[in-house]
Structure 1
Amino acid sequence: MKITYPGLVRCTGLAAILAGAIFAGIQPIHPPDMLASVTTGNWAIIISLKLAMCLLFLVGIAGLYLRQAERTGWLGLAGFLLLTVSFWLQTAFVFAELFILPVVAASTPAFVDSYLGVVNGSPGEMDIGALVPTYGVVGLCYVLGGLLFGIAAVRAGILPRLPAMVLAIAAIITPAAAFLPHEIQRFAAVPMGLALGWLGWALWSERAKARSSGTSAPLI
């Protein structure tokens, strides 16, 4: 099978589909962000999925942007870069949750409590330096990136507008979730995951339709 640039871009839709499904699917079953959770098997499974999700999102978002790059302009570029920074930094946090926290949970529980406090909104007693403001950058880039990317995709009109609108709206309502209990806050991620997965499906189905018809749709 011949490898083409449009084909590779459309294949990234699969990454977006998988990442979106994981993002939405793990929220109801995510273990509590607390010290007792980090050494459990459930934590290892869910956080492993989160790590895969972050990496898949980096690929999927890149493909979604490249498919629309000329039409989305600077707004699309800004949204793409912000989302990329958000999930790139999030990858580092999730890596630590998977490979570092379980190892040090018994010897330095105060560090684990303080680290998880960044996520669950209950600051621990240990000073963990730049991790707190860095996590704030993750959230800011996530919200602004989702909003700008969604608006740019709606304006471009290449991929379906409805999931792009959901993406933008999900980004807008995300800060409001901070006023909810932490276990409820997670559900604010479900619309974002569904929207990105939907856009990924649209990108992938373009490729599938082109293959079934024996044609190659132009990459705009």
Structure 2
Amino acid sequence: MTIAPTTLTRAAGLCAVAAGLLFIGVQINHPHLDVAFVTTTESTVRQSAKVLMAALSLAGITGMYLRQVKQTGVLGLLGYVLFGVGYLIIMSIGVVATVVLPSLVHSAPGYVDDVLAVAAGGHATGDIGLMEPLNLLSGITYLAGGLIFGIALFRAGILARWAAALLAGGTLATIAIPLLPQINERLFALPTGVALIGLGYSLWREQRTPAARPMPGPVSSRLDPAGTR
């Protein structure tokens, strides 16, 4: 069985579409994060979906970058690395929230509450170790990576430019979350989710369209006189 590069690129596009749908889906009717919620089945399902979303997003943006590595240049590489690191950290935090935190609810509820507070943009009252700087690094790499990667994709002009612009603008808009406490912060995930869907579909469609084969010209269609000897 031979796997062509176009097949992998199309698969990456579908991964991005699925990631965008999951990113939007997990935000719908998301309850408040607290110690009681961590032990519920709904929490396990939502956190597992976030881990899957991050993994699919990483596969999707990798396909986008490799498809236009020459066109995006150094800016594209910087954006891809930052955005990829952001999704890796998101995936890691999701694993911790799914596997580790539920086991600490009864033995260390204060620690769990502090981790959830930091994850929601608040502050911890106790020591949570590296979880606080990890959350901060996640926000920085996600914001900077999405902005730079979106700009690089927009400049390359191969995938849907509206989706690239939405990716850059959507991730940048997350800066406004602390300034707008009256607005549900989960609404800020919608532009990025839609952008991933648009870019993924654009990548899948672009690879689905076969390149036009050059038609033989009148000169090349003639028999080479040397071939008659």
TM-score, reference length from structure 2 = 0.87
Q: Which runs of 4+ in 1 moved over 6 A?
A: none
Unaligned runs of 5+ in 2: 214-229
User: Which piece of structure 1 moves more, 116-125 or 148-157?
Assistant: 116-125
Aligned partner letter, 1:186: R
Alignment of 1:1-220 (within 5 A): 2-181=2-181, 184-210=184-210
- Specify the alignment match of 2:226 in structure 1: none
TM-score (norm 1): 0.91
Report if aligned partners of 1:115, 1:124 keep a CA contact under 8 Å in 2: yes
- Where 1:128 maps in the other structure, the secondary structure is coil
Q: Check 1:201–1:105 CA distance in 2 against 1; reply closer, same or farther (3 A cut).
A: same
Does the CA-based 8 Å contact 1:120-1:182 persist in structure 2? no
Counterpart amino acid of residue 200 in structure 1:
G
Offset of residue 183 of structure 1: 7.4
Specify whether residues 183 and 48 from structure 1 end up closer, same or farther in structure 2 by C-alpha distance, changes over 3 A only: farther
Listed one character per residue, the Cα deviations across residues 61-112 of structure 1 (whole Å, up to 9, x for unaligned) are 1001111111000001110000000010111110010011111111110110
Computing the radius of gyration from Cα coordinates, the structure with the larger value is 2
Contact 1:166 1:191 in 2 (8 A): yes
Relative to structure 1, is the Cα distance of residues 82 and 186 closer, same or farther in structure 2, using a 3 angstrom cutoff? same
Q: CA–CA distance in 1 between the matches of 2:13 and 2:135?
A: 27
Structure 1 regions of 5+ residues with no counterpart?
none
Q: Is the 8 A contact 1:31 1:43 kept in 2?
A: no
Residue 139 of structure 2 aligns to a residue in which SS? helix
The secondary structure found in structure 2 opposite 1:147 is: helix
Q: Alpha-carbon deviation of 1:3?
A: 1.2
> Residue 129 of structure 1: CA displacement?
1.9
Shift of 1:10: 2.2
More helix by share: 1
Q: Does structure 1 retain, via aligned residues, the 8 Å contact 2:51–2:95? A: yes
CA RMSD, Structure 1 to Structure 2 (Å): 1.8
Give me the identity figure in percent: 39
